[in-house]
Amino acid sequence: MIPDAINNLKEKILAGGSLSTVEAMSLIDLSPQEEDALIEAAAEVTERFGSRDFDSCSIINARSGRCSEDCKWCAQSAHYKTGTMSYPLVGHDTCMALAAYNRSRGIGRFSLVTSGRALSGEALETLCGYYRELRLAGGMGLCASMGLLDAEALAKLRDAGVERYHCNLESAPSHFSTLCSTHSIEDKIKTIEAARATGMEICSGGIIGMGESRAQRVEFALTLRRVNPVSIPINILVPISGTPLENTEPLSGREILLTVAIFRM
């Protein structure tokens, strides 16, 4: 049976309401019975509001390595020796072949992802050309993940056919500054707002298990609510050798499940 407090929160959500910060924070320190109730309540919310269909999206690493940013979780940062492959923009024929492969298998969305703080100049123009060709081919929605772009660059992507822009907040504002010193959450939100202004949808989530507290995961969820993305990827850290987080203790399956339940609520 669902404890009354969690049941009341569930009913508020099912009636179209949303949790206050205090209500959301009340979900972080629960007894085992209350945790089970939270998972059950989140399942009911999913059943009411969520689709049973997967919105599949396949990505290709369109430019790899040598990134100027110092994100502590990332294999592609030039600040760490991770042995990751580095290469410039993926070639036209490779991109089109991968797109055709994914299209033939019913993938709904296709995204080009590039390393680096932001894509610009000739590289941006080249990938816009790829997107124009992919738009003409049809069959898949087009997404992009190219860093902290300005309004002009985002408008070019939108004109080329990109429908959804991906920019993860990654973690709570209070924790992010301990993970990255070369850009901020507000830099990300500025990019997201500029992308939305062009008419693009927003995909934004992050990574759990990077040393944040449960309270910071709630803070992260509430910050994402401010951003209001149509898609929220919740990734789980896989520690990469050579990065500052290489020895991070993995989250338990139970902790991951509870975090997803909290995000759903």
- In this prediction, residue 51 has a pLDDT band, given cuts at 50, 70 and 90, of confident
Q: What is the mean pLDDT of residues 236-253?
A: 97
Q: Is the pLDDT reported for residue 230 higher than 70?
A: yes
Kindly state whether residue 61 falls inside one of the protein's structural domains. yes
Q: What is the mean pLDDT of residues 201-220?
A: 98
| pLDDT (0 to 100) of residue 55 | 85
Q: Identify the CATH number of the domain in which residue 250 sits.
A: 3.20.20.70
Kindly state whether residue 223 falls inside one of the protein's structural domains. yes
Q: Is the pLDDT reported for residue 2 higher than 80?
A: no
- The span from the CA of 209 to the CA of 255, in Å, is 9
| pLDDT (0 to 100) of residue 263 | 96
In the chain, % of residues over pLDDT 90: 96
Q: What is the mean pLDDT of residues 106-133?
A: 97
Contacts 24+ apart (CB under 8 A), 124-133: 124/153, 124/156, 124/157, 125/156, 126/89, 127/62, 127/89, 128/156, 128/157, 128/159, 128/160, 129/160, 130/92, 130/95, 130/96, 131/157, 131/160, 131/161, 131/162, 132/160, 132/161, 133/96
Kindly state whether residue 128 falls inside one of the protein's structural domains. yes
Q: What is the mean pLDDT of residues 141-168?
A: 98
Kindly state whether residue 33 falls inside one of the protein's structural domains. no
Kindly state whether residue 119 falls inside one of the protein's structural domains. yes
| pLDDT (0 to 100) of residue 116 | 96
| pLDDT (0 to 100) of residue 217 | 97
Q: What is the mean pLDDT of residues 250-257?
A: 96
Q: Which domain holds residue 103?
A: 55-260
Q: Which of 44-58, 133-147, 245-259 has the lowest mean pLDDT?
A: 44-58
- In this prediction, residue 134 has a pLDDT band, given cuts at 50, 70 and 90, of very high
Q: What is the mean pLDDT of residues 97-118?
A: 97
User: How many domains would you assign to the chain?
Assistant: 1
**Phi/psi of residue 176, each to 5°?**
-60, -35
Kindly state whether residue 34 falls inside one of the protein's structural domains. no
Select the more confidently predicted residue: 1 or 147: 147
| pLDDT (0 to 100) of residue 1 | 53
Q: What is the mean pLDDT of residues 234-240?
A: 97
- In this prediction, residue 76 has a pLDDT band, given cuts at 50, 70 and 90, of very high
Q: Residue 97: which residues within 8 A CB-CB, separation 6 or more?
A: none
Kindly state whether residue 14 falls inside one of the protein's structural domains. no
| pLDDT (0 to 100) of residue 189 | 97
Paired sense of beta strands 234-236 and 206-208, if any: parallel
Kindly state whether residue 20 falls inside one of the protein's structural domains. no
Please provide the average confidence, as pLDDT, over all residues in the chain.
96
Q: Is the pLDDT reported for residue 149 higher than 60?
A: yes
